[in-house]
Amino acid sequence: MDDPIRESGPHLAALLAPALTQDGPLYRSLADALKRAIDRGEIALGTVLPPERTLARSLSVSRATVVAAYDRLKAEGWLQSRRGSGTWVRGPQAAPARPGVDAVATARLFLSEDGLEQRSGPGEHLDDGGDMIDLSVAAVMGSPTVERLLGSLQVDDVRALTEHHGYLPQGLRALRQLVADRYAGVGLPTRPEQVVVTTGAHQAISLVARQTISEGDPVIVETPTFPGALDVFRRFGARAFPLPVDEQGVRTDLLGELMERAQPKLLYVSPHFHNPTGVVLSEERRVRIGELAVEHGVVVLEDLAMGDVDLDGVDLPPPIAAMTPAASVHTIGSTAKLFWAGLRVGWIRSPDDWAARMLATKTVADLGTPLISQLLAVRLLGHADGILAERRRELVPRRDLLCELVTAALPDWRFSAPAGGLSLWLTLPRGNADELAEVALRHGVLVVPGPALSVDDGNRRCLRVVFTRPEEELREGIRRLAAAWAAYAPTTERSAARLLV
């Protein structure tokens, strides 16, 4: 194994402790609980588990119980072991082929995430003439104010641009000043010279990756995560190491040892309304990330693009860059999530000693983001509070409706209602999300399975379902998803029954 995560006995015991109260053989309950934790992504693939005696002590059970649970999971292919090396969750290289994965469908997912598809209605047409309900795209349509501002430019507004040759790699000064002011307002002092305007957050990630990693370099990536980031790191040939996410964000209790072993060049995290789980990284963990980044000389890329979609008025902690000024932290944002993805305007705020390099990299990439889009972004940022109010009126009822629909139609599925963002992160009680997504596709609803958002093919019992679509589509989409689950679940039950025979 290559630089694995090592799980501690007390933390693993906290995940598995509820299994101690279940009926049936204790070792079987522990084995099932461990499988569920792996499926949910709470334990990344490749993680080295604590020795049997250590876990038994943390759980206050006999060592024989833990040995039997480990043995059961080894027999089922979940765990591997080697004398002298311990026991670990099978690595990504040992994972069986995921059934039904379509390279074209995967490409559509990345394109959809970046807002590049042309969409005029609920989706594609099925063979029987019905419409596909698409609950996979974490992006919003233009609000009334967005539409009004996009159509408001006059000749006099653009004359100052057209009288210039148009090559501004760093971006419009007015836009960079607005971005700098926004960061200063949340505790991150910023000068316009530290900001480079990009063609979307996707390009921002790519520019930072180009400056920091080469073929074969290790990077640490939260799992699950934004699939566009995974696409970028794979394109640069990086070796991605998964850092699990829990209800407080990325697990910093694992990060120090992982940095020590992997010696990464880059750490990618989404502290605000994490995509796809919606969790907000705690202030304590933000500080810890900065401390570890300084200690290990790791560059941090914090993606705050989803932070603009604050549905419940959450008091968000300051960015990581503000909490540890000594760390090399690049902070990125975007107009895509709150305003409209089709504008394709994002930005990077870099430390002073990186600003010139980021500008040079952007210049080589494309000589600058289109100025008309930047001018529109300036107007939109000037109306951000009003547009957020529109989004709340639109999205809060849809989020609440989706929660109600899932609770009623799929009562044994688990989720937490997010305070911001655009999606629910759903955990199945059993089965495989890739397989269910294929069944759902045949029932006319498109959702994103957890492995598509994971570094290590993990989160196999999770789905991302967005609440950006109109209410009638949400109702029909969940009806179809429930029908798909009804068709799929008996198959998983039969498979489980065969394993027990």
Could you give the CA distance from residue 485 to residue 482 in angstroms, rounded to a whole number? Answer: 5
Specify whether 377 is located in the same domain as 300: yes
Comparison of pLDDT for 135 and 57, the residue scoring more:
135
pLDDT attached to residue 57: 83
Query: Where residue 244 sits, what CATH number does that domain have?
Result: 3.40.640.10
Calculate ∠ Cα 289-259-13, nearest 5°.
80
pLDDT attached to residue 94: 39
Specify whether 326 is located in the same domain as 418: no
Q: Which two tokens stand for residue 357?
A: 């390099």
Q: Which domain holds residue 300?
A: 154-384
Specify whether 380 is located in the same domain as 391: no
- Examine residue 2 and state whether it is found in any structural domain, yes or no: no
Q: Which two tokens stand for residue 356?
A: 């010139």
- Examine residue 125 and state whether it is found in any structural domain, yes or no: yes
Give the pLDDT mean for 247-275: 95
Report residue 497's pLDDT band, with 50, 70 and 90 as the boundaries.
Answer: very low
Specify whether 68 is located in the same domain as 186: no
- Examine residue 286 and state whether it is found in any structural domain, yes or no: yes
What is the Cα 256 distance to its own chain's centre?
Answer: 21
What SS3 string covers 365-399?
HHCCCCHHHHHHHHHHHHCHHHHHHHHHHHHHHHH
- Examine residue 51 and state whether it is found in any structural domain, yes or no: yes
Q: Which two tokens stand for residue 414?
A: 């688990």
Handedness of CA 176, 115, 434, 445 (dihedral sign): positive
Could you give the CA distance from residue 472 to residue 95 in angstroms, rounded to a whole number? Answer: 38
Query: Where residue 419 sits, what CATH number does that domain have?
Result: 3.90.1150.10
Query: Where residue 80 sits, what CATH number does that domain have?
Result: 1.10.10.10
Could you give the CA distance from residue 437 to residue 493 in angstroms, rounded to a whole number? Answer: 17
DSSP assignment of 98-129: PTT--HHHHHHHHHHHTT-S---SS-PBPTTS
Specify whether 61 is located in the same domain as 81: yes
Our count of domains for the chain comes to 3
**Domain end: 332, 350, 384, which one?**
384
pLDDT attached to residue 1: 42
Core vs surface per residue 316-332: b (16+ CB within 10 A) or e: bbebbbbbbeebbbbbb
Quick: pLDDT tens for 284-309: 999 999 999 999 999 999 999 999 99
Q: Is the peptide bond before 325 cis (omega within 30 degrees of 0)?
A: no
pLDDT attached to residue 421: 96
Residue 115 has pLDDT above 90, yes or no: no
Kindly give the interhelix angle for 384-409 and 471-500, rounded to the nearest 10 degrees: 40
Specify whether 68 is located in the same domain as 195: no
- The overall average pLDDT reported for the chain is 86
State the amino acid at position 42 in one-letter form.
Answer: E
Percent of residues, the chain, with pLDDT higher than 70: 88
pLDDT attached to residue 271: 97
Quick: pLDDT tens for 126-142: 544 458 899 999 989 88
**Domain end: 94, 113, 128, which one?**
94
CB 124 within 8 A of CB 132: yes
Specify whether 23 is located in the same domain as 77: yes
**Domain end: 320, 353, 384, which one?**
384
Specify whether 276 is located in the same domain as 364: yes
Quick: pLDDT tens for 366-404: 888 989 899 999 999 999 999 999 999 999 999 999 999
Q: Which two tokens stand for residue 265?
A: 């060049």
Specify whether 268 is located in the same domain as 124: no
For the purposes of burial, counting CB atoms within 10 Å of the CB of 492, is it exposed (0-12), middle (13-18) or buried (19 or more)? middle
- Examine residue 315 and state whether it is found in any structural domain, yes or no: yes
- Examine residue 462 and state whether it is found in any structural domain, yes or no: yes
**pTM for the whole thing?**
0.76
Specify whether 465 is located in the same domain as 398: yes
What is the Cα 31 distance to its own chain's centre?
Answer: 28
Specify whether 247 is located in the same domain as 354: yes
pLDDT attached to residue 122: 39
Q: How far apart are the first and last CA of the chain?
A: 33
Report residue 352's pLDDT band, with 50, 70 and 90 as the boundaries.
Answer: very high
Percent of residues, the chain, with pLDDT higher than 90: 56
- Examine residue 425 and state whether it is found in any structural domain, yes or no: yes
What SS3 string covers 40-72?
CCCCCCCCECCCHHHHHHHHCCCHHHHHHHHHH
Specify whether 287 is located in the same domain as 377: yes
- Examine residue 110 and state whether it is found in any structural domain, yes or no: yes
Of the listed ranges 114-118, 231-235, 270-274, the least confidently predicted one is 114-118
